[in-house]
Amino acid sequence: MIDVKNLVKTFKDGPIETRVLKGIDFTAQDGEFVAVMGRSGAGKSTLLYQISLLDEPTSGEIRINGKEAHLMSEHEKMLFRLTEFGYVFQDYALLPELTALENVALPILMQGAARSAAEAKAADTLTRVGLSTRLDNLPSQLSGGEQQRVSVSRAIAHTPDVLFADEPTANLDRESSARVMDIFRELHTAGQTIIMVTHEDEYAREADRVVTLDDGRIISTPALKQGGLA
Amino acid sequence: MFSLLNIRIGFYLAVRQLRRASRWTTSLIVFVMLLTFLNLVVVTGILVGLIEGINESYRTQYAGDVIISALSTKEYIEDTSGVLAFLGTVPQVTRLTKRYQAGGTIEANYLTRTSETEKPNATGAQVVGIDPSAEDAFTGLASHIIEGQYLAEGDYDQILVGNFLLARYAFGEQPGLTPLENVYPGTKVRLTVGGVTREVVVKGVVKSKIGELGMSVFIPASELRTIISRSDQNVAQIAVRLTPGSDPDAFKDLLLASGIGENARVQTFEDSIPNGVADIKTTFAMLGNGFSSIGLVVAAITIFIVIFINAITRRKFIGILKGIGISGEAIEISYVFQSLFYAVIGSLIGLFVLYGVLVPAVAAHPIDFPFSDGILVAPIDGTAVRIALLVLTTVIAGYLPSRMIVRKNTLDSILGRN
């Protein structure tokens, strides 16, 4: 479970201060699929980066499964990101010199697994997302949709508590986007907690709840009935 | 910090980065490392080899491994026959040559001088009485004849003249040394030794870069004994060559223990080299190290720039790696491994070039310096130290920029923010 209280994030550029998040209260339950929406500049991605421990809030509290994440050291945050979280970035974020298999295996290796075990797990995850024949391909040899599926595989291969996705379909065509959302649906059905930033109403409807931000504040957070807006 | 896990992941990343890097770029960097290695070894090696070439020439062309000479208070080795008898019992002695020595002068223009007031074209010289065949077998003296012919055993009133005694080869007039003009094989010159003057014919000219040959006059020993009225067989010098691998110092100790030191001065060839030469060698070694250090700095800067550019252009991926939980230390270690690769491969190729090509090539064809046949000195232990220095410098040069980039804020790196 993720519990955020009065989260503030201010950016400083010399004398200029920009308050992007202005006191966010947010909760995500285990197994919940939350979509974060809002117009450009509302603070969606900034909120995602704070609760996924990629950035440090200016003030406020972030509790993850009861742990005070906002008080963790950099090393503790790194370990948390490695073991508890998975990330899917908008532009896939794959290492160009690693094959699909190696990209997915890398975080598992970092957890201390033997290479054979890590690659076996990576191969299994890539097969689940329909990429069993692309294990030895470099990212440059994959389509955008395939790269994003590799990115999803990397995010879920170590069975994280929470999957964070920042505009995962923004750079994909409709067919590829649909395939990625199919994977998210399957993961959600299996009990995966997902927090996804998106511009697209169509994909937000997959979520249990939509959190809408405007000007750094949550303006609505209605729960969705399964398969449709309330 | 440098845990086994971080090292494992760092190596994993490094191998894959190197495997997929541009081969041209990798080759170029390795080439820079190779040149730096050669600079580190060869610059010092040639400078030291310049002096070592003198030492080696001195040993092979004059002194042998051990040289036995008269005491400073004597003109010859007393009981030379006893010394020779003892040397004959030592199995390490493979060859020796005996030399008589006396100071003398040579005058070249005595036939053409028209006035007593005209300055004689004369020079002082060390006159060395030799057994021509034994001397040639020991030093290869005959191979140093550049004009005329070598001496034969029965030659009478014939001499060999060192090239530095002749104006056309000398470095010019110096105090006590007036090079001889117009002296060629067949030229008659006046040789004066111990007050006795004899007209002799120059049979040949000896060229050598060591003064003991280049500034000497060689004459058959029997004739020199006649000139200086010596009927005994005591010589001024005995040069001894030992079996390969023998220790000259141990042999010297053996001779001294046998009592030879009471009648003669016993020196290894290193002992007999003038002190100044050893000092020059040390000085050249220091100079060589200084010059090649500059190359090391250049190589370090090159690696720093290469790694820095690599890391700064991959800053986003470094941020992503950190974002998904890969430790910064593992990423830094991957760059250290890459730097290590460049240094090690460059050094290995350098070792092959050095010991497989350069050292044997220069040994076979020494560099023709004016005063030395220069060789390339590259002792294994010295080379190993230089490799370690190159590797260490390169690793540090690769670690520093990677640390600079890895330590940047993770999210700023992912988003490309400054």
pLDDT digits (tens, 9 = 90+) for A96-154: 999 999 999 999 999 999 999 999 999 999 999 999 999 999 999 999 999 999 999 99
In chain A, the number of structural domains is 1
- Using DSSP, state whether A149 is helix, strand or coil: helix
Residue A54 identity: L
Please state, for a pLDDT cut of 90, what percent of chain B lies above it. Answer: 50
Question: Considering only alpha carbons, which residue of chain A is nearest residue B14?
Answer: A97
A221, amino acid identity: T
Domain coverage including residue A190: 1-218
B241: nearest Cα among B101, B83, B59: B59
A:B CB pairs within 8 Å = 64
Contact at CB, A95 and B320, closer than 8 angstroms = yes
DSSP H stretches of helix in B191-327:
211-214, 221-227, 248-257, 269-272, 275-313, 315-323
Helix, strand, coil distribution of chain B in percent, nearest 5: 55, 20, 25
Strands (E), B108-249: 122-130, 145-148, 158-162, 188-193, 196-206, 216-220, 237-242
Name the residue of chain A whose CA is nearest to B316's CA.
A93
Distance from CA of A227 to the nearest CA of B (A): 31
Mean pLDDT (chain B) is 89
Q: What pLDDT is stored for residue A62 in this prediction? A: 93
pLDDT of residue A230 exceeding 50, the answer is no
pLDDT the model gives residue B154: 83
Task: Write the residue in B19, B324, B414 that is nearest to A81 by C-beta.
Answer: B324
What is the C-alpha R_g of chain A? 17
Task: Determine contact, residues B179/B165, Cβ cutoff 8 Å.
Answer: yes
Structural domain includes residue A224: no
Domain boundaries, chain B: 4-59+277-415, 66-245
A36, A13 Cβ separation under 8 angstroms: no
Q: What's the rounded mean pLDDT across residues A202-218?
A: 91
Instruction: Read off the pLDDT of residues A3-46 as tens digits, 9 standing for 90 and up.
Output: 999 999 998 888 888 889 999 998 999 999 999 999 888 899 99
**Per-residue pLDDT at B181:** 87
Average pLDDT over residues B270-285: 79
Q: Say if A230 falls within a structural domain.
A: no
Asked if the Cβ–Cβ distance from A95 to B321 is below 8 Å, we say yes
Average confidence (pLDDT) over B222-238: 89
For residue A229, the model assigns a pLDDT of 41
**pLDDT, tens digit (0-9, with 9 covering 90-100), for B172-218:** 666 666 788 889 999 999 999 988 999 999 999 999 888 888 889 99
In the prediction, which pLDDT does B176 show? 61
B382-404: average pLDDT: 91
**Residues from A in contact with B at Cβ < 8 Å:** 49, 54-55, 78-79, 81-83, 85, 87, 89, 93, 95-98, 102, 106-107, 109-110, 112, 115, 138, 154-155
Residue A229 lies in a domain: no
Query: Is the predicted pLDDT of residue B255 greater than 60, yes or no?
Result: yes
Question: Could you give phi then psi for residue A125, rounded to 5 degrees?
Answer: -65, -40
Cβ within 8 Å of residue A82, ≥6 positions away: A107, A110, A111, A158, B324, B325, B326
- Shortest Cα–Cα distance, B311 to chain A (Å): 13
Type of residue numbered A46: T
Cβ-Cβ contacts under 8 Å, A104 against chain B: none
> Does a structural domain hold residue A25?
yes
> Of the candidates B324, B327, B411, which has its C-beta nearest A55's C-beta?
B411
Closest among A60, A29, A85, A26 to A218, alpha carbons compared:
A26
ipTM: 0.88
Residues A109, B324: C-beta atoms closer than 8 Å? no
Distance, in Å, from the CA atom of B112 to the CA atom of B192, rounded to the nearest integer, reads 18
Kindly state whether residue A147 falls inside one of the protein's structural domains. yes
| Beta partners for residue A11, in sequence order | A18
Measured distance CA(A37)–CA(A199) in Å, rounded: 6
Chain A residues close to B323, C-beta within 8 Å: 54, 81, 87, 93
Contact A89 B414 (CB under 8 A): yes
Residues of chain A with C-beta less than 8 angstroms from the C-beta of B324:
81-82, 87, 106-107, 154-155
Question: B322: which chain A residues are within 8 Å (Cβ-Cβ)?
Answer: 78
Q: Are B48 and B284 in contact (CB under 8 A)?
A: yes
- At residue A162, does pLDDT exceed 80? yes
* Residues from chain A contacting residue B321 (CB–CB below 8 Å): 95, 106
pLDDT in tens, B23-53: 999 999 999 899 989 988 998 898 888 888 8
pLDDT value for B175: 67
pTM of the model: 0.78
Question: Which of B21, B317, B324 has its CB closest to that of A154?
Answer: B324
Distance between CA atoms of residues B386 and B391, nearest Å: 9
**Residue A175 maps to a domain:** yes
Average per-residue pLDDT for chain A: 90
Strand ranges (E), B321-371: 367-369
The tally of CA atoms less than 13 A away on the side-chain side of residue B201 is 11
CATH number at residue A24: 3.40.50.300
Cβ within 8 Å, pair A89-B325? no
Q: Do A106 and B410 touch (CB under 8 A)?
A: no
